[in-house]
Structure 1
C-alpha cells in the first residue's frame, strides 16, 4: 500500500510538472502578438546642373513617387514572416536624354526630352523570416529579394544571427547578403546602330566615339558582410557599433552615362553634345564602413540620437557622415523630431567633369555622385502613437502615424532635393 501511494504521488507530481512545463511554453510572450501592416508613401524631387547621362553637364530634374507596404505575420510564438512590396514611379529629365532626339523640341542637355524614356517604374519585393529562441536571446533570420526596372533585374538573399547577453543589455549581430544583378544596357542613342549625325543639323567630327565598345559582361554581384555590437551603458545611454564590408564585381559602370573627352573635337547635334564614350570603371570595388549610433535619454521628454559613419573604398572615396536627431515628446501620444545631417566625401580617382577626361585614360566617369562635395540635410518629423489602437479600420487598429519633411543640398554643386513621406502602422485587433 505504501509503494502504491508513492507511485501515485510520483505520477501526480510528474503530470503536474509536465503541465507546468507545457503552460510555461504555451504562455510565453510571443515575439509578435498580432499581424501588423505598415503603409508608407514618399515623394522625392531634385534638380541640378551636372547630369551624368549628358556627361556631367545638363539638367538633373527628377521626381519620384514610391508607395510601400510592409506586412509582418506571426507564424507562431517564435517565428515571424515579413513581406515588403514597393513601387517607384519616376519622371527623369536626365534619363530622358539617353535619347534627346525622341521628343518634339531641339535636343539640349538642359532641357528634358519629351520622349518615352523620361519616365519608368521600378518594382521590388522582399521577404524576411525570423526565428527567436524560447529565452529570446537568439534570433535567426533569412531573407530574399527581387527587383526589376527597365534596364536591370536584381535578385538577393541573405540572413543574420543575433545573440543577446548580460540580461539583454549586450547584443551582437552577424549579417550577410548577396545581390546578383543583370543589366539590360541602354546605351546613349549615338552609340546605337543606325544613328547618323548627317541626318541632323550638326557641327564637329563624325568620328565622335573612337573608344566605344559594348560591354561584354553585363552582370554585377555584390557580397555584403556586417557586424553590429550594441550595449546599454546606463539607464540613459545606449550605443551601438556597426561595421560593413561590401565587395562588388562585374559591370560597375552605368551604360547610359556619357563621357566627353578633352582631346577629341566635340560633335554638337542641334544643341546637344554627343558622347565620346560611356562611363568606364573598374570591374571590382571594395567598400568598408564603420559607424556608431548612440542615444542619450536626457529627460522624460527629450532624447538625443547621434550617428557617425566613416566610409572608404578602393576607388579613392573617403567620406564622413554626422547626424543628430532630437525627438521631443509632446504628451503621451505625440513626438516631434527635428534632425540635421552633414556629409562630406573626396572624389573618386576616375572622376572628371564635362570635357575633362582623356581618351588615353583607362577609366573615366563624369558622375558627380563620385565627385568631392559637402552636403547638408535638414529634416522635421512628427509621430502620433496610440498603443490602444483607438482609431480602427476594419479588423485593424491604427498604431502610429509618421510624417517627415527633408531638404537636401550640396554646397559645392548646384544640386538640391526635397523629399517627404507619410507612414501608417496598423495592428490586427484581438
Structure 2
C-alpha cells in the first residue's frame, strides 16, 4: 500500500475534460489498486489498459494507458506512464433550457451552433485529444525509509501541464506503521480556442452587425488572446496502520492551493427576464484562487474468501464546495488464478457559492458566476464489476464494466416562468468499460 503514495501524488487531472472528472479519478484508483497488489521488486512489469466511457447523447471518451515498472536493484525502482485519450461529442455550455430554439456564437467567433426548443444547450464541437507522460524514481534507503521523485507532462490542443512531485515514507513499529508525506507542483498553460473570454462579458452575434469587420471588432472586445497560466501546489500527509493480521487502515490529509486562470472558457450563463426567457448570454467568471482540503479514511480487510475495502473522503474549499465520497469494494477470489470484484461508489457535492443557474435581467452582474453543473449541487453513483484472470507466464488479464449516473440537483434556485416547464438539471447516464493486461 505504501508505494501508492508515489504514484498518487501528482496524478491530478490537468483539465476537467479527461474521462469526466470523477470517473477519471476512479480509473486512477483502480490502477493504483493493481499496483499495490504487486511486488515492487519483482523485476519489470508492464500494465496496459483500454478505457471506454460513453455518456448517453453526450461525451464519448477512449483512453489507452501503458504503465512500465522496473526494479533496477534492491533499492531502486523506476516507473513510467504514457496515456493517450480522445474525447468527442456534445458538452453542456451552461445555458438554460428554453421553449424556443437558441443560437450561440462558436468559441472561435466563426459561425453558430444551436439548441432545439426544450433541449439542454450542448456545444456539439466538443473534441479533444490528450497525451500524458510521467516518470518516477523510487529509492529505498533502508527497510524503514524510502523516497521518490517524479515528473509529469500533459498536452492537449488548448492546454499544457508540466509537473514535478516528491514523496517520503518511514516505517516503524516492526513495519506495522508507515507515515508518509508528498508534494507536487504543476505549471499549466491555457490557450482556449478563440482566446479567453472576458469574464461576465456578453456573447455577441454576427447577425446583429452590418459587417464582418464590425462583428469581429465587437467579438475581439470580449477576448484576451494571450496565453493564461495556472499554478497548483499539492501536499499530502498520512499514516497507514496494520490493525491485526487481517486488517489495515489509512488516514491522510491533503491540501491543494491553485491560482491563475480557473475559468472554463467554453461555459456561459444565461440572462433571463421575469418570465424566464433568455435575453442574452454571459461568459462565466470564477475566482482566480482556490484552496482545497481533503480528509481520506480507508480500511481494508483480508477475509477467507477475498478482500473487503471501505473508504471515505471529505473535501472542502474556499469556494464553499463541499463533497463526500463513499466507496466500497469486495474482491472474491474464485481460486488462486481468478477473482471477481464488486464496487459501489457514491459522491455527494454541494454547490459553489458563485454557482448561478441564470442571471436576472435588470440586476447588477455579480463579480463571479458560473452555471457549470460540475460546480453545482449533485450526486453521482457508480456500480461496477471486475473480473481478473491469471494467464500463462504470469500474465494477468482483467475486464471492468461500470454504470455511472450523475444527478445534478437544484440548490434552491427559483425557476421563473418557462424555466419551470423544463428539467433544468437533467441526469447523465454513462457506461465505462475497461480492459487491462499485465505482462
Task: Give the TM-score band, short-chain normalised.
Answer: 0.7 to 0.9
- Aligned to 2:436, which of 403, 419, 423? 423
**What's the counterpart of residue 20 of structure 1?**
none
**What's the counterpart of residue 141 of structure 1?**
148
Q: Kindly indicate whether the alpha-carbon contact (under 8 Å) linking 1:100 and 1:108 is maintained by their aligned counterparts in 2.
A: no
Q: Kindly indicate whether the alpha-carbon contact (under 8 Å) linking 2:182 and 2:235 is maintained by their aligned counterparts in 1.
A: yes
- Aligned to 2:163, which of 156, 160, 164? 156
With 311-320 and 88-97 compared, the bigger mean Cα shift is at 88-97
Equivalents in 2 of 1:329, 1:283: separation in Å? 48
> Do structure 1's residue 222 and structure 2's residue 228 form an aligned pair?
no
Equivalents in 2 of 1:31, 1:302: separation in Å? 21
Q: Show CA shifts across 1:99-133 (max 9, x none).
A: 2899999722757677xx44221111000111112
Q: Kindly indicate whether the alpha-carbon contact (under 8 Å) linking 1:41 and 1:421 is maintained by their aligned counterparts in 2.
A: yes
- Aligned to 1:401, which of 390, 397, 401? 397
TM-score, scaled to structure 1: 0.75
Question: How far 1:300 moved relative to its partner?
Answer: 1.7
SS in structure 1 at match of 2:387: strand
Equivalents in 2 of 1:103, 1:212: separation in Å? 14
> Do structure 1's residue 178 and structure 2's residue 185 form an aligned pair?
yes
SS in structure 2 at match of 1:280: coil
Q: Show CA shifts across 1:354-406 (max 9, x none).
A: 455965200000001111112211111111235xxx2xxxxxx4431221111
- Aligned to 2:59, which of 46, 57, 62? 62
With 212-221 and 398-407 compared, the bigger mean Cα shift is at 212-221
Aligned length: 362
Equivalents in 2 of 1:217, 1:100: separation in Å? 15
Q: Kindly indicate whether the alpha-carbon contact (under 8 Å) linking 1:103 and 1:113 is maintained by their aligned counterparts in 2.
A: no
Which of the pair has more CA radius of gyration? 1
Equivalents in 2 of 1:162, 1:91: separation in Å? 41
Question: How far 1:423 moved relative to its partner?
Answer: 1.0
Equivalents in 1 of 2:48, 2:179: separation in Å? 30
Question: How far 1:416 moved relative to its partner?
Answer: 1.6
Equivalents in 2 of 1:188, 1:217: separation in Å? 8
Q: Show CA shifts across 1:221-271 (max 9, x none).
A: 000000121000001210000210000000111112112223699998xxx
Q: Show CA shifts across 1:330-352 (max 9, x none).
A: 11111111111111111000001
Q: Which runs of 5+ in 2 are unaligned?
A: 1-38, 94-103, 211-217, 410-424
**What's the counterpart of residue 87 of structure 1?**
84
Question: How far 1:194 moved relative to its partner?
Answer: 9.8
- Within 5 Å, give how 1:124-273 maps onto structure 2: 124-133=132-141, 135-187=142-194, 196-198=206-208, 212=222, 214=224, 218-262=228-272
Q: Kindly indicate whether the alpha-carbon contact (under 8 Å) linking 1:36 and 1:425 is maintained by their aligned counterparts in 2.
A: yes
Equivalents in 1 of 2:202, 2:286: separation in Å? 21
**What's the counterpart of residue 293 of structure 1?**
298
Question: How far 1:87 moved relative to its partner?
Answer: 0.4
SS in structure 2 at match of 1:349: coil
**What's the counterpart of residue 41 of structure 2?**
32
Once superposed, what is the RMSD of the aligned Cα atoms? 3.6
